[in-house]
Amino acid sequence: MIDSAHPTRPALTRSPDTTQPATGSRRLAALRAHALDAAVGVGLFVVSLLVYNATLTPSLSYLSPDGNELATVPYLLGLVHSTGYPLYTWLGKLFTFVPIGDVAHRMNLMSATMGAGGIALMYGVILLLLERMRPERAGQRSLWMRTIAAMVALLFAFSVTFWSQTGIAEVYAPNLLMVALQMLLILNWARVEEANPAGRGQPPSARSLAWFGAFCLAFALSTGTHISNLGFGLGYLVFVLAVNWRFALKPRAIIIGVGLFALGLLQHLWLPYKASTLTDSLMRANMPNTWKGFYNYTLGAFPQMKFAFTWAQVPDRIVIYLDLLRQQFSLVGVLIGIAGMWVLLFRQPKRWWLITLMYLVHLVFFTQYRVFDLDVFFIPAHFLFALFIAVGVDWLLQTGGGWLHSRWPALVERFAVAKYALAALLVIIPAGWQLAHNWEKNDRSGDMAINDFYENVFEMLPPDSVLLGQSGVFGYDMFYWRLVYNVRPDVLMPHLPGTNERPQNIEDRPLFSTIRADGPGAARGPWGPPRGLISEEVWSIPILLGGSVEGSIPARQQELVLYALSETPPEMFVSQADPQIETNVAPGGLTLLGYDLDTRFAYPGGRLHLTLY
């Protein structure tokens, strides 16, 4: 006989996993719930992708300092700049087989597709977070939970910074998918572990090990989209120990976790394998074919940018971040997110530690990071803050709904009939507000300036001429055409990867350049022409002006200009001017007598010949 006042100790076998759906009606209900969530996730993916595709940059762009390199190197299966990004490179190669547009367009499409995938996964992450907010509804997903998850996912999807990265070849949208995937996997692991507290001291279940192993693999793989994701490891470790510290000591968990994490890190063997393909002088200085070079190319990359500010400058950096956060979600969204932080702390402290540690590590590192495109580095932090917003909205709806029901129960019951319409409005209004405010900023669907410019450049260049330009990462607006499509193989590009930069190779050839070679505007430094390659007495004569490149980041606000290089100065004066169209205006002290124009009609990508007198 068993004394009810003194229950026996648990059996040595792990108790049944209560997260597995029961038979009969409960199984059917669970399947319906999962099908509904999958359908909503697919819907969010489709809506996001439609918007991203509508605003997608058609081909090359200056919206990122290294975007043109990232649009080219994956096609070649080469090695991009530090920190290497092997997973991004391989995924990019797969997308180059998509039969839509040119290769650069396909790489842009990868950002759009994976960004939309990240939004779908974000919906699942928020559901897992909200269903734990109240013990009585654990495992249950109501209409309002799904509404909040969809609303916040779209709020983030159309935030100004993340949206900007879904239309160009860059790592930030694919990286968001990997971060969201990690969160989804580790929260599912915690769901399994927390559903069976009686068996914590026993061997882990197969489901728990499967979720944990998948998380470890995804975590390691994400270092191939952005190596800064390693900083999230502290939050993950604390969360695993808080959920079940015994699990972390089990040999099977250690073997599976460490083994799959190591498997994911093997992707970085791509760096020494492809080190010989590097041509950028700055990258070659730390070629990853030695242990020291490998470290400098990855974890030790860009030391001059890390922790670059003094303590006295920290308040200013925090203000910059807070303003960027406000731009993403508005002041109201920021306040709701702060409220959500407090609610999560007291109701789900384990998940609070997970998200907060990830958030703070990321925030501390990148507020101390000296770059001109700082906003894009905070995208994972914005994603994590959006989770706080979801908790805050949930708390507001629960608190406000309870207060209204206590004051005006009849009115609340009447509105309950229209709950689906209210839920739809809750999703549509914030998303519509983001779309209205950020569409114009992120619509790059007409940005063909680089393509139009180089199409005309290669059409104008005489046979066997020389075309100079920027080298390294910044030269791929030119290199792309040769490396991907072998355009004008007769034209020598001394800065092209694999080309021998010797002065004798360009002798007696017509010289042209997309950067100035004379005067105060001449290109200098590691990305300019090597000293001695061309004469210092050369004249840079502009012969082709490209379209404007609006929206470029400061370092790429360059004019699209083709210069003819000559040691003979151009003819700058005529004895008699007989312009076709007379103007006789004097802007800036010089009199513009008139101009000649070869045609009155222009078409996209075409040329007009203009002579000013």
Q: In which band, very low, low, confident or very high, does the pLDDT at 598 lie, cut at 50, 70 and 90?
A: confident
pLDDT at residue number 136: 55
Q: Where are the beta strands (DSSP E) in 256-334?
A: none
Q: For 91-107, write each residue's pLDDT tens digit.
A: 999 999 999 999 999 99
How many other C-beta atoms lie within 10 A of the C-beta of residue 40?
19
Local confidence band at 84 (pLDDT 50, 70, 90 cut-offs): very high
Per-residue confidence band for 143, with pLDDT thresholds at 50, 70 and 90: confident
Per-residue pLDDT at 530:
63
CA distance 246 to 240: 9
Angle at 492 between CA 491 and CA 494, to 5 degrees: 150
> How buried is 5 (Cβ within 10 angstroms: 0-12 exposed, 13-18 middle, 19+ buried)?
exposed
More confident residue, 279 or 54: 54
Q: Band the pLDDT of 6: cuts 50, 70, 90.
A: very low
The sheet with strand 466-468 has its strands ordered as 466-468, 511-513, 561-566, 539-545
- Token pair for 420: 């689906």
The residues near 522 (Cβ < 8 Å, ≥ 6 apart) are 515, 516, 528, 540
Higher pLDDT, 412 or 353: 353
> How far apart are alpha carbons 130 and 134 in whole angstroms?
8
Q: Say if residue 334's pLDDT is above 80.
A: yes
Where on the phi/psi map is residue 357: left (φ > 0), alpha (ψ -120 to 50), or beta? Answer: alpha
State the pLDDT at residue 27. 75
Supply the DSSP string of 365-381, one letter for each residue: HHHT---TTHHHHTHHH
More confident residue, 364 or 495: 364
Residue with tokens 């649009």, as numbered in its chain:
71
- Over 90: is that where the pLDDT of 8 sits? no
Distance CA 449, CA 464 (A): 25
Q: Measure the CA–CA gap between 227 and 85, rounded to whole angstroms.
A: 8
The closest alpha carbon to 391, from 331, 333, 324, 330, belongs to 333
Q: At what angle do helices 419-442 and 409-416 cross, to 10 degrees?
A: 70
Q: Which residue's entry shows tokens 């007009």? A: 608
Q: What is the pTM of this model?
A: 0.90
Share of the chain above pLDDT 70, in %: 85
Q: What pLDDT, on the 0 to 100 scale, is given for residue 501? A: 57
Structural tokens at position 553: 């980041």
- Percent of the chain residues past pLDDT 90, beyond the cut: 60
Q: Kindly report, residue by residue over 495-520, the tens digit of the pLDDT.
A: 886 665 555 567 788 999 998 877 65
When pLDDT is averaged across residues 403-423 and rounded to a whole number, the result is 72
Instruction: Please determine, for residue 422, whether its predicted confidence score (pLDDT) is greater than 90.
Output: no
Q: How far is CA 531 from CA 502, 514, 534, in A?
A: 11, 17, 7
Name the residue with higher pLDDT: 518 or 264. 264
Find out whether 156 and 382 touch, Cβ atoms under 8 Å. Answer: yes
Asked whether the predicted pLDDT for residue 418 surpasses 80, the reply is: no
pLDDT of 9 > 50? The answer is no
| Nearest residue to 387 (alpha-carbon basis) of 142, 141, 47, 153 | 153
561: helix, coil or strand? Answer: strand
